[in-house]
Amino acid sequence: MHNGDADHLSGIKKKDKYTMEVTFDKKKVNYLTGFISGPLLSKKYLSDVLVKDLAKSDKIRKHPIGIGPYKVKKIVQGEAIQLERFNDYWQVKPSLEKIELKVIDQPQMIKALEKGDIDLVNDATAPMAKEAKKSKENIKVLSTPSLEYAVIGFVSHDYDKAKNKTGKVRPKYENKELRQALMYAIDRKNGLMHTLMVTEVKLIRMCYPLNG
């Protein structure tokens, strides 16, 4: 389907001009977040572009059209995207007339905030948040609980890449007490904070395999 070979997609039905009905063959809790993993595209606008050519098309790379409150005015590859308010947006009229998204190296972001070159940094890492809190330029750091989770596991088996299957158990992990000792020894909280580059994590519970 992604190569443009399919001429039909089952489970999707058009209800009216603005509504579609999707039917799944299995239940899954994250359908609402995982079903649409990318932007909705205009069939009318992109009808002359083959599916396999979408990613490199100028209509996607330079002049994209979406359904959001802003429209693209200019794209400078690798540097910035200039957006302007879409006055015909179907919901509440956007407050800002224009927005510019800039590509800035992480080590320079806090300095850019302090100098007033940028107004906002999205998805700041924990080191950046700590640096911002130490700033004398009254930078405000906002945070919110995440829906993400992480699991720590061990590579207990060899993996046969050619056959795409799990191989033999690695001898050192056959010892149940060793596996348990490793889990108890790991500083999970600080380890996850460092790995995920976040300012806080909440440990839910230990999660052992059924065989220990």
Q: Hey, what are 35's tokens?
A: 């079903």
Q: Model pTM greater than 0.85?
A: no
pLDDT in tens, 24-78: 888 877 677 666 666 778 889 999 999 889 889 999 999 998 888 999 999 998 9
Q: Determine the pLDDT at residue 207.
A: 54
Query: Which domains does the chain carry?
Result: 51-103 (3.40.190.10), 149-206 (no CATH)
Contacts of 86 (CB under 8 A, 6+ apart): 68, 69, 70, 71, 94
In this structure, the chain runs to a length of 212
Distance CA 37, CA 23 (A): 17
The token pair at 95 is: 């407050």
**166 pLDDT higher than 70:** yes
pLDDT of 208 over the 60 cut: no
